[in-house]
């Protein structure tokens, strides 16, 4: 995480992320760590802004959230296709290219969250208690989902198909891109992160991503 520049609101840069988190948890031992990520396409796809947040919240006290963040503007994956003059083929080629671009952008959110999670597996091991199998089962998770942080990701588990798309599906035809575009990544992200042992929340419950990271992401327009 040395390359990431996490900050507090106000601009103060956190030079040692692991130390900062440990010291915060010493002051507020009842808090849970949530990590979230969101992204925003800029400059017609030439750039993508990613925002990562590390949020601390006491689920018993419900007395507010404290979070720190970083932002990174990276090259995007522009949707480009060569027109052939065949409208049907050109439309399908554009759909495939757009689907790939959406998948790659959001999959990068998955990778960023995974990197933060693995960082804390090392930094907090022995310092921050893992949930017991009994606690995990009571919460509705598998006993293997005992990583030290919870992951929130701005992915919708509901495709939001339109009535027309639902009719295409019933006819066994390709429905196109779902209204909720992030659904494209849902199954792969769920399998990846939960398979690694993370407790993962998706929309509408993933507030660390859809609220905190979204605010940071949209606030850093350039």
- Residue 65 covered by a domain: yes
- Residue 95 covered by a domain: no
Kindly report each contact of residues 53-57 with a partner whose C-beta sits within 8 Å and lies 24 or more positions away, as own/partner. Answer: 53/208, 53/209, 53/212, 53/213, 53/216, 54/6, 54/17, 54/21, 54/116, 55/152, 55/208, 55/212, 56/24, 56/25, 56/28, 56/31, 56/32, 57/31, 57/32
Domain range for residue 61?
A: 17-73+109-154+186-219
pLDDT in tens, 36-94: 999 999 877 789 999 999 999 998 888 889 999 999 999 987 777 778 888 878 788 88
- Residue 134 covered by a domain: yes
- Residue 25 covered by a domain: yes
pLDDT in tens, 103-144: 999 999 999 999 999 999 999 999 999 999 999 999 999 999
- Residue 212 covered by a domain: yes
Say how far apart CA 85 and CA 99 lie, in whole Å.
Answer: 21
Cβ(208)–Cβ(200) below 8 Å: no
- Residue 181 covered by a domain: no
* Tokens found for residue 62: 């419900």
Binning pLDDT at 50, 70 and 90, where does residue 222 land?
very low
- Residue 91 covered by a domain: no
* Tokens found for residue 16: 């040692």
CA 85 to chain centre: 38
Indicate whether this model's pTM tops 0.95: no
- Residue 162 covered by a domain: no
């Amino acid at each position: 995480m040395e390359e990431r520049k996490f900050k507090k609101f106000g601009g103060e840069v956190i030079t040692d992320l692991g130390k900062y988190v440990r010291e915060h948890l010493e002051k507020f031992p009842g808090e849970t760590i949530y990590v979230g990520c969101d992204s925003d396409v800029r400059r017609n796809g030439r750039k993508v802004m990613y925002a990562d947040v590390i949020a601390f919240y006491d689920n018993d006290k419900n007395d507010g959230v404290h979070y720190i963040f970083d932002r990174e503007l990276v090259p995007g994956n522009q949707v480009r296709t060569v027109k052939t003059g065949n409208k049907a083929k050109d439309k399908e080629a554009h759909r495939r290219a757009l689907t790939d671009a959406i998948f790659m952008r959001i999959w990068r959110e998955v990778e960023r969250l995974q990197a933060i999670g693995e960082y804390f597996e090392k930094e907090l091991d022995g310092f921050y208690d893992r949930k017991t199998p009994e606690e995990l089962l009571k919460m509705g998770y598998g006993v293997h989902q005992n990583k030290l942080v919870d992951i929130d990701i701005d992915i919708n588990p509901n495709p939001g198909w339109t009535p027309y798309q639902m009719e295409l599906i019933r006819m066994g035809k390709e429905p196109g891109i779902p209204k909720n575009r992030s659904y494209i990544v849902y199954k792969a992200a769920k399998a990846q992160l939960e398979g690694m042992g993370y407790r993962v929340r998706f929309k509408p419950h993933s507030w660390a991503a859809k609220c905190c990271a979204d605010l940071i992401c949209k606030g850093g327009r350039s």
